Chain A
Amino acid sequence: ETAVFQTPNYHVTQVGNEVSFNCKQTLGHDTMYWYKQDSKKLLKIMFSYNNKQLIVNETVPRRFSPQSSDKAHLNLRIKSVEPEDSAVYLCASSLDWGQNTLYFGAGTRLSVL
Chain B
Amino acid sequence: AQSVTQPDARVTVSEGASLQLRCKYSSSVTPYLFWYVQYPRQGLQLLLKYYSGDPVVQGVNGFEAEFSKSNSSFHLRKASVHWSDSAVYFCAVSRGWSGGSNYKLTFGKGTLLTVTP
Q: Are B102 and A97 in contact (CB under 8 A)?
A: yes
Using CB atoms, name the residue of chain A closest to B44.
A104
Q: Give the contacts of B17-75 with A (CB-CB under 8 A).
A: 32, 34, 36, 38, 41-46, 49
Interface size on B, residues (CB 8 A): 25
| Smallest beta-carbon distance A97→chain B, Å | 5
Contact flags A35-67 to B (C-beta < 8 A → 1, else 0): 000001111010010000001100000000000
| Smallest beta-carbon distance A89→chain B, Å | 11
Residue with the highest number of chain A CB atoms closer than 10 Å, among B44, B97, B109, B110: B44
Q: Which of the residues B41, B90, B94, B102 comes within 8 Å of A106, measured between beta carbons? A: B41
Which residues of chain A have C-beta atoms less than 8 A from B107's C-beta?
42-43
Q: Are A90 and B43 in contact (CB under 8 A)?
A: yes
Which residues of chain A have C-beta atoms less than 8 A from B45's C-beta?
104
* B99 in contact (CB, < 8 A): yes
Residues in chain A within 8 A of chain B (CB atoms): 4, 31, 33, 40-43, 45, 48, 55-56, 90, 92, 94, 97-107
Residues in chain B within 8 A of chain A (CB atoms): 32, 34, 36, 38, 41-46, 49, 88, 90, 94, 97, 99-103, 105, 107, 109-110, 112
Q: Which 9 A-B pairs have the closest CB atoms?
A: A104-B43, A56-B103, A43-B107, A104-B44, A41-B110, A48-B103, A106-B43, A105-B43, A100-B94
